[in-house]
Amino acid sequence: MVAPPIVSLISGKAPNSPQFWLDAAQQAVRNYCGWHVAPAIDETLTVTARGPRTLFLPTGKINAMTLVMNDGVDVTADVQMDKTGYLYIDGGCWSLKLGGVVITMNHGYAADEVSDLAGVISRLASRAAASASNITAQRAGGMSVNYGTVDGLPAGTGLLISEKAELDNYRVVVY
């Protein structure tokens, strides 16, 4: 079977649509941060512990935990959480089985808490939409290529160093 094109799978939006570039920019930010960031959502995660007492979840802000299952046993009452994604289990150990821990939680920021994220996404989408192709001119004789810029910045959905610095407060990094 031949795989269908990726672009046609993005809600039928053409690459010249402003919504297409907004979605692409939002996904680029989420990919860099390593989690969805906003809005706050209810989610069930199945994870594998890397150590006996401490478990790291791919999130930067836990708002509430409603259920923690460890090897099929409800240990919610025995778990302490750090709002930045660490869980500690009292009086026992995390399952070391692949996918042995299942957590249901609410996590993420409210939209009004992340206006800086919205700014990065907006700038990134504007740059990308302004030049769907980074190549603005080519020449065969002498082999010359010109790349597009928007206000002196590279066009496209690549994050700038300054934007990455803004996003680092939301980034989940596992050590």
Give backbone dihedrals phi and psi of 138, rounded to 5 degrees, phi first.
-135, 155
What's the pLDDT score for residue 50? 81
pLDDT of amino acid 94: 95
158 band by pLDDT with thresholds 50, 70 and 90: confident
Query: Could you tell me if 172 and 35 are in contact, meaning their C-beta atoms sit under 8 angstroms apart?
Result: yes
User: What pLDDT score was predicted for residue 70?
Assistant: 96
What is the per-residue pLDDT for 18? 80
Is the distance from CB of 66 to CB of 36 less than 8 angstroms? no
* Cα–Cα–Cα angle for 26, 151, 6, rounded to 5 degrees: 35
Q: Say what the alpha-carbon torsion angle 122, 123, 129, 131 is, to the nearest 10 degrees.
A: 180
Predicted structure pTM score: 0.76
pLDDT in tens, 57-80: 999 999 999 999 999 999 999 999
| Predicted local distance difference test score (pLDDT) of residue 91 | 85
Please answer whether residues 85 and 56 qualify as being in contact, where contact means their C-beta atoms are separated by less than 8 angstroms: yes
Residue 41 confidence (pLDDT)? 95
The distance between the two most distant Cα atoms of the chain, rounded to a whole number of Å, is: 73
Q: What's the confidence (pLDDT) of residue 163? A: 93
- Residues whose CB is less than 8 angstroms from the CB of residue 156 and which lie 6 or more positions away in sequence, other chains included: 127, 128, 131, 134
pLDDT tens digits along 88-141: 999 889 998 999 999 999 999 998 999 999 999 999 888 877 765 555 566 566
Are 102 and 45 spatial neighbours (Cβ–Cβ below 8 Å)? yes
